[in-house]
Amino acid sequence: MPLPIKITFLGTSGSTPTKERSLPGVSIEYDGSVYLFDCGEGVQRQLMLYSINPSRIRCIFITHMHGDHVIGVAGLIRTLALNKRTEPLHIYVPEGEQEKLRPLVDFDRAYIPYRIVIVGVKSGRVASGRGFTVSAFRLRHSVPTYGYVFKEDGRHRFNKARCIKLGIKGSMFSDLERKGAIMVGKKKVRLEDVSDYAEGRKVAYITDTRPVSGAATAASGADIMIHEATYADSLKALAKERMHSTAFESAGVANKAKAKKLVIFHMSARYKKPDDLLKDARRAFRNTSVAYDGMVIII
């Protein structure tokens, strides 16, 4: 059975928090570890509120260096220090922006007993772990910005009927997975002869940006596409001016990507209820939901 991928929306507001919505942050839990995407002010409290152990954070992926997406790093790394963390923490930021993060690490000269590795991001694969990769792709905002794709590795699933027919049993299964081919009697059997290949699951995280074709390409076929929807379509001119997307435009990207599900977030604080945003998005992409703080999706 494949491992679950658990997505938790820690903060879903854009630019400023509201009484109902904290600043941007999304966690992905996979194989016992937590991967954090953006870290707005208050994210560490949101982690605790939604029962996500901060000590299990392996990496933080920052889309861009605007305060609402990154200021939470300062408090989080100090809490991890007080909790006696020893393993390194990797923080990914757009290439060339590394020194802008350093003041959040160094400003009070706190004792940090673990290593913080700040990594500059360019398009392409930026990180990997057992069973997954994280890739980055360029977005179009007022400062250098990248979206991310969390992609589970594909896997071979054995076909029971073909295995029985060719005499595959017992330890032969693990031998086939490890070697790719084994001898069964006098016949060479390859892994692809007795299995079907299944693509891994895919989560795309896209904020803050004008709609760009590269986002649809990177998120192609995503099981879950998370996309900013800062404004309703009635404020499209403002979205262009501030280099954001409307809900309708976000849905257009999901359509081009042929995503399975779109979840919009990063809403302007002017929207007390997201009804207009959801209505706009569903005009272009029916399978759309609006994220709320604490929302969980498991795929």
**Spatial separation of the C-alpha atoms in residues 75 and 79, rounded to whole Å:** 6
Residues annotated catalytic, as ranges = 68
Secondary structure of residue 218 in the 3-state scheme? helix
Decide if 226 contacts 148 (C-beta within 8 A).
no
Q: Which of 68, 71, 70, 43 minimizes the C-alpha distance to 57?
A: 43
Look-up of token digits 């966690």 = 27
Instruction: Check if the beta carbon of residue 232 is closer than 8 Å to that of residue 198.
Output: no
With a CB cutoff of 8 Å and minimum separation 6, the contacts of 273 are: none
Residue type, 130: R
Residue of 51, 48, 77 lying closest to 62 (CA atoms): 77
Cα separation, 99 vs 80, in Å, equals 21
- Please identify which residue in the block is written with the tokens 């069973």: 131
The DSSP H or E segment spanning 121 is strand 116-121
Please count the residues of the chain.
299
What are the residue ranges of helices labelled H in the chain? 43-49, 67-70, 72-82, 98-106, 160-166, 172-179, 213-218, 236-242, 247-257, 275-284
